[in-house]
Chains A and B, each alone.
Chain A
Amino acid sequence: MAEFLQQLLNATVLGCVYCLIASGLTIVYGIMKVPNFAQGNLYMSGAYLAFFLASLFNCNYWGIMVLVALIMAPLGIIIEHLCFRPLRDKPHENSFVMALGVLMAIEGLIVLAFGGEYVEVKGPWTGILSFGGISIAFQRVLVVVGTVLVLCGLYYFLRNTKKGMSLEAMSQNKELALTLGINVDRMTMLAFAISTGLAGIGGVLMAPVSAVYPEMGMPPLLVAFAAVIFGGMGSVAGAVIGSFLMAGAQVFSTQYISSVASDMAVFGLMIITLLFRPQGIMGGKK
């Protein structure tokens, strides 16, 4: 029983990371209809940025958190402006390829700046919390708490502020939103800023607990996509549900079968969703 709870806890932590990546992914997709493949590497950049700020400026963890969010959000706007906006009138596939280009460029940049080896980021609290046969590192608790706070903030923003509601309306139904006079350009920038910010925060939260290396963004990217497909493209709630489902599938299949099985479980869930309910569980009509 204790082991099961332990795995559940692990899945929760993992799910939180996926949430942060997936919600940004789904918001951007909902608005631009482009899957931002670079999202995984933006998460990775958050972790590296944390390392950079910690090692160069000896910044404390909370400061890093704030700074990363403040740096990543405008970065997202810049990327949107330079890379995606010029492709607005071109065929859709060009944007897909552009997203891949950005993915590669970011990874290449990080490798150039920091080398290909693992780096280490220290969290504010070391130490482990143990009770009833389960243990969890304090940092992991922080991941969960941080994610919950961020998601609550996001929820509040999307439901209770004018900008947020416009954003959500636009990602659900673009044509309708346009007729209501919502400014597409501004919304797209906002969507990107939120999405990169979330990914960056995710990177900072996870950096002390997981390995920080240039390809660290790729495995979560695939899971995040599976989560977004499961939940329905454009739906943040769906992305959150999907993230925890995928995390659970991964953790439990690794535990009881093997690590390859965990990849296949996620992929399998994605395929099943596509076969039987392609719009996702929260998705509307086709």
Chain B
Amino acid sequence: MTGFFLSRKLWMVCGIAFLLVFPLFLPTDIKPFLLYLASLIFLWTMLCVSLNLIFGYAGQLSLAQGGLFGTGAYVAAILTVHYGVNFWLAFLVGGFAAGMLGLIIGIPSLRLRGPYFVIVTMGFNIILVSIIENLGELTGGVTGLLGIPPVSEIGNITFESKIKSYYLILIILFIFWFVVYRIRNSRMGLCLNALKNDEDLCQSVGINTMFMKLQTFIISSVLAGLGGALYGSFLGILTPRDASWHLGFDALVFLIVGGIGTIPGTIIGPAIMLLISELAQSVVQIGMLMNGLILILLLIFLPKGVVGLFGYIKDFLYRYNEK
């Protein structure tokens, strides 16, 4: 019986089903707000998926994910706001732009071991924000870009309503998860895990680790960019903070809360943290101090996050079952 309850596939199916039927059981007065919050959680999940790919699977800590997300967001927004481009085209261009940036940052920094990649990605992010703030005419500078139109129609389906928006973002999130799931359960996933554990060993069996890392980083950049484009359109407004490394850092905290290196962790983390932040808003300000402390405590006591916690419970139940 416990076996049935602990089956991973069961949890996965239940989770997906829950997300799909969630909007149908909401009380009408708070429904729009909850749909908005859920959509926001999904967008953060996309950013976490991107970070999880490069850090959780490949072991390379990138502090540029916020910047890549913001690049996709700003590029798409600029195209739709200033040039009237159809959202879906802008969406793809945003993802492409982020991918290109990933290529450029990755080449000098991924060749080296140790903290070089982390430092370069942090530096890149800081410079990117500086550039965004200075390109006032295109980006709205420090005050930001306003009036970003919502997602354009596909055929004759429009996406202005909250519920349609929810499902659209959810479907795209499912696609993100599918991509990352396929990677993890393939040769590439094995390669990334091996690379994360022991890069020298990989090289000694002929794997071109630089190419693998670069490839992974570019994919994660594209995902971040696409997520950002969607985010800009969803919120309707962008500020430089949406491209800052603070954003990427928040995603890192969320991911560690949820469970780094896992797929459910990418949504559990943002869900918990955004809910707490909503509930606590009247009481205390979830700010950097909380995020920092949570991170420090988690790293020492529960580095695998909520998913890790479930793992411990599962192990405990197995051992209990065997008695």
Whether A94 and B296, one on each chain, are in contact in the complex, defined by CB atoms closer than 8 angstroms, is no
Across chains A and B, the number of contacting residue pairs, with CB separation under 8 Å, is 112
Whether A108 and B55, one on each chain, are in contact in the complex, defined by CB atoms closer than 8 angstroms, is no
Q: Is A100 in contact with chain B by the CB < 8 A criterion?
A: yes
Whether A222 and B122, one on each chain, are in contact in the complex, defined by CB atoms closer than 8 angstroms, is yes
For A278, give its contact among B112, B292, B303 (CB under 8 Å). Answer: B112
CA distance A34 to B256 in the complex (A): 19
Do A29 and B108 form a contact, CB below 8 Å, given A104-B291, A263-B126? Answer: no
Residue of chain A at shortest CB distance from B296: A101
- Chain B residues with CB under 8 Å of A219's CB are 126
Whether B59 and A93, one on each chain, are in contact in the complex, defined by CB atoms closer than 8 angstroms, is yes
CA distance A34 to B109 in the complex (A): 17
CA distance A262 to B114 in the complex (A): 26
Whether A97 and B116, one on each chain, are in contact in the complex, defined by CB atoms closer than 8 angstroms, is no
Residue interface mask B46-77, A partner, CB < 8 A = 1: 00000000010001010100000000000000
Residue interface mask B166-190, A partner, CB < 8 A = 1: 0000000000000000000000000
Q: Is A264 in contact with chain B by the CB < 8 A criterion?
A: yes
Whether A100 and B252, one on each chain, are in contact in the complex, defined by CB atoms closer than 8 angstroms, is yes
For B116, give its contact among A86, A263, A278 (CB under 8 Å). Answer: A278
B201 to chain A, nearest CB (A): 15
Whether A94 and B303, one on each chain, are in contact in the complex, defined by CB atoms closer than 8 angstroms, is yes
Do A35 and B118 form a contact, CB below 8 Å, given A86-B300, A87-B299, A97-B61? Answer: yes
Residue of chain B at shortest CB distance from A93: B61
For B289, give its contact among A29, A87, A111 (CB under 8 Å). Answer: A111
Residue interface mask A93-123, B partner, CB < 8 A = 1: 1101110111111111101100000000000
A79 to chain B, nearest CB (A): 10
Q: Is B36 in contact with chain A by the CB < 8 A criterion?
A: no
Whether B115 and A101, one on each chain, are in contact in the complex, defined by CB atoms closer than 8 angstroms, is no
Whether B123 and A94, one on each chain, are in contact in the complex, defined by CB atoms closer than 8 angstroms, is no
A278 to chain B, nearest CB (A): 5
Q: Is A162 in contact with chain B by the CB < 8 A criterion?
A: no
- Chain B residues with CB under 8 Å of A96's CB are 61, 115, 118
Segment of A131-139, A163-171, A266-274 in the binding face:
A266-274
A window 169-228: CB within 8 A of B: 218-219, 222, 225-226
A193 to chain B, nearest CB (A): 20
CA distance A266 to B123 in the complex (A): 9
Q: Is A275 in contact with chain B by the CB < 8 A criterion?
A: yes
A275 to chain B, nearest CB (A): 5
Whether B295 and A101, one on each chain, are in contact in the complex, defined by CB atoms closer than 8 angstroms, is yes
Residue interface mask A75-101, B partner, CB < 8 A = 1: 000000001001100111110111011
For A83, give its contact among B109, B116, B252, B296 (CB under 8 Å). Answer: B296
Q: Is A14 in contact with chain B by the CB < 8 A criterion?
A: no
Do A100 and B120 form a contact, CB below 8 Å, given A87-B300, A111-B287? Answer: no
- Chain A residues with CB under 8 Å of B252's CB are 97, 100
CA distance A37 to B245 in the complex (A): 13
Q: Is A229 in contact with chain B by the CB < 8 A criterion?
A: yes
CA distance A69 to B249 in the complex (A): 30
**Chain B interface mostly helix, strand, loop or mixed?**
helix
- Chain B residues with CB under 8 Å of A93's CB are 55, 59, 61
Whether B292 and A106, one on each chain, are in contact in the complex, defined by CB atoms closer than 8 angstroms, is yes
Whether B295 and A104, one on each chain, are in contact in the complex, defined by CB atoms closer than 8 angstroms, is yes
Whether B299 and A107, one on each chain, are in contact in the complex, defined by CB atoms closer than 8 angstroms, is no
- Chain B residues with CB under 8 Å of A101's CB are 292-293, 295-296, 299
CA distance A271 to B222 in the complex (A): 22
- Chain B residues with CB under 8 Å of A83's CB are 296, 300
Residue of chain A at shortest CB distance from B55: A93
Whether A94 and B292, one on each chain, are in contact in the complex, defined by CB atoms closer than 8 angstroms, is no
Do A275 and B296 form a contact, CB below 8 Å, given A108-B291, A225-B123? Answer: no
A96 to chain B, nearest CB (A): 5
Whether B293 and A225, one on each chain, are in contact in the complex, defined by CB atoms closer than 8 angstroms, is no
CA distance A266 to B127 in the complex (A): 10
Whether B288 and A107, one on each chain, are in contact in the complex, defined by CB atoms closer than 8 angstroms, is yes
CA distance A94 to B59 in the complex (A): 10
Whether B119 and A35, one on each chain, are in contact in the complex, defined by CB atoms closer than 8 angstroms, is yes
Residue of chain A at shortest CB distance from B301: A86
Whether B290 and A108, one on each chain, are in contact in the complex, defined by CB atoms closer than 8 angstroms, is yes
CA distance A271 to B120 in the complex (A): 8
Residue interface mask A228-272, B partner, CB < 8 A = 1: 010000000000000000000000000000101001101100110
Residue interface mask B291-323, A partner, CB < 8 A = 1: 111011001100100000000000000000000
Do A104 and B288 form a contact, CB below 8 Å, given A96-B118, A275-B108? Answer: yes
Whether B287 and A108, one on each chain, are in contact in the complex, defined by CB atoms closer than 8 angstroms, is yes
CA distance A98 to B118 in the complex (A): 13
A73 to chain B, nearest CB (A): 21
B window 247-282: CB within 8 A of A: 249, 252, 256
Do A267 and B61 form a contact, CB below 8 Å, given A87-B300, A260-B134, A274-B112? Answer: no
B residues sitting closer than 8 Å to A (CB atoms) are: 55, 59, 61, 63, 108-109, 111-112, 114-116, 118-120, 122-124, 126-127, 130-131, 134, 249, 252, 256, 287-293, 295-296, 299-300, 303
A to B CB contacts below 8 Å, 13 in the list = A35-B115, A96-B118, A97-B252, A100-B252, A102-B292, A104-B289, A105-B288, A105-B293, A106-B292, A109-B289, A258-B134, A274-B111, A278-B112
Given A108-B289, A225-B122, 5 extra CB contacts under 8 A: A101-B293, A101-B295, A226-B123, A274-B120, A278-B112
